[in-house]
Amino acid sequence: MEIYNTFGTCSRQIIFRVDDEERVTNVKFVGGCSGNLQGISRLVNGKTIDEIVPMLKGIICRSNTSCPDQLAKALLAYREKKNGNVQ
Instruction: State the pLDDT at residue 65.
Output: 97
Whether 9 and 70 have beta carbons less than 8 Å apart is answered as yes
Helix (H, G, I), strand (E, B) or coil at 68: helix
Exposure pattern of 28-58 as b/e (b: 16+ CB <10 Å)?
ebeebeeeebeebbeebeeeebeebbeebee
pLDDT band at 87 (very low <50, low <70, confident <90, very high): low
CA angle at 67 for the pair 65 and 70, rounded to the nearest 5°: 65
Which pLDDT band holds residue 85 (cuts at 50, 70, 90)? Answer: confident
Domain over 2-82 is classified CATH 2.60.120: no
* Domain boundaries along the sequence of the chain: 2-82
Q: What is the pLDDT of residue 46?
A: 98
User: Span 59-75, mean pLDDT?
Assistant: 96
Question: What is the tens place of the pLDDT at every residue in 39-59?
Answer: 999 999 999 999 999 999 999
H helix or E strand, kind and range, residue 35: helix 34-44
